Amino acid sequence: MKKYILFVLLALSATGFSQSKNINNYKYVIIPERFGFMKEPNQYGLSTLAKAFMERKGFTVFFDDTQLPLELITNKCSALSVEVVEESTMFNTVLTVLLKDCKGTVLFKGVPGKSREKAYKTAYNLAMREAFKSLDGMSYKYQELSGTEVTTVTANSHYIPASANTVTTVSSNSSSVNESIATGTLYAQATATGYQLVDTTPKKVLTLFKTSQQDYFTANNGKNQGMVFKKEGQWYFEYYQNDKLISEKLDIKF
């Protein structure tokens, strides 16, 4: 009996079901437009297929080359990344699904999906579908982490009190967004990683860090961190404070 139990445990380990209790703490999943074994983006429709499987599981999914929401841009560690590894042989197309956190730690490894089809498109699609069946045995229900457990983007900058430069009003819409309007012009000074925004004193008000998206920056004023972005010709600084979204209009001269 003991030998049987040991055999079962080893067999389960070998299948690769290494689900972590932290899986449920991830709302988002990022899928590469091009997996490592692909020769071109979304080859054979595999990235689209992976996205469909993860959405069916209940995750909110984005491709890595699309515009991400503010919450995800300012905290990349709130998302899992999907990696599909090819271990094909001469006679089999073999794909394995991995779910990783922002540090590259594997939180889930599925059972390899295999296909003996000779046509590449058919073989890869069948192997991908078989590989994602591993997720059927994974229980998932999003559970938000407490604020002390979330890893966020940090930056070193000196805090300049915003009260001297902004007038705050409360929006009347149902989402309870606090809107602020900057009363002075801010001037952008280029840095190695983006810009620093200074007023006419000159004092540094905000530090901007470049992202992969044009007119989108991660931002930090020493007290709050969020995003500075351009919408309809107007610059905004948005961040969360006491679980409320704050949106400040900025007048920036680059």
Residue with tokens 């001297």: 164
Q: How far is CA 64 from CA 80, 133, 150, in A?
A: 11, 23, 21
- Give the pLDDT confidence of 221-251 residue by residue, as tens digits: 888 888 899 888 899 988 887 778 888 899 9
Indicate if 236 and 179 belong to the same structural domain. Answer: yes
φ, ψ of residue 116 to 5 degrees: the values are -105, 5
Over residues 42-62, the pLDDT tens digits come to 999 999 999 999 999 999 999
User: Are residues 236 and 184 part of one domain?
Assistant: yes
Q: Are residues 29 and 123 in the same domain?
A: yes
CA distances from 17 to 51, 53, 135, 203, 254 (A): 20, 17, 9, 54, 51
Q: What is the CATH number of the domain that holds 38?
A: 3.40.50
**Does 191 lie in the same domain as 133?**
no
124 and 173 both lie in a single domain: no
Do 133 and 21 lie in one domain? The reply is yes
Using a pLDDT cut of 70, give the percent of the chain over it: 76
Q: How many structural domains are present in the chain?
A: 2
In the predicted model, is pLDDT for residue 164 greater than 50? no
Q: Residue 29's pLDDT band (boundaries 50, 70, 90)? A: very high
- 112 and 32 in a common domain: yes
**What is the residue whose two structure tokens read 């004092």?**
203
Residues 16 and 102 in one domain: yes
Percent of the chain clearing pLDDT 90 (strictly above)? 33
Examine residue 77 and state whether it is found in any structural domain, yes or no.
Answer: yes
What predicted TM-score, i.e. pTM, was given to this entire model? 0.53
* Statement: residue 3 has pLDDT above 80: no
Which tokens is 68 given?
């991400």
**68 φ, ψ (degrees, to nearest 5):** -95, 155
Select the more confidently predicted residue: 243 or 127: 127
Q: Residue 150: inside a domain, yes or no?
A: no
Mean pLDDT for the chain overall: 77
Asked if the structure places residue 83 within a domain, the reply is: yes
112, pLDDT greater than 90: yes
Residues 131 and 9 in one domain: yes
> Is residue 146 included in any domain, yes or no?
no
Could you tell me the residue range of the domain that residue 68 belongs to?
A: 2-137
In sequence order, which residues have a C-beta less than 8 Å from that of residue 106 and are 6 or more positions away? 18, 98, 99, 100
C-beta neighbour count of 4 within 10 angstroms: 8
Query: What's the confidence (pLDDT) of residue 50?
Result: 95
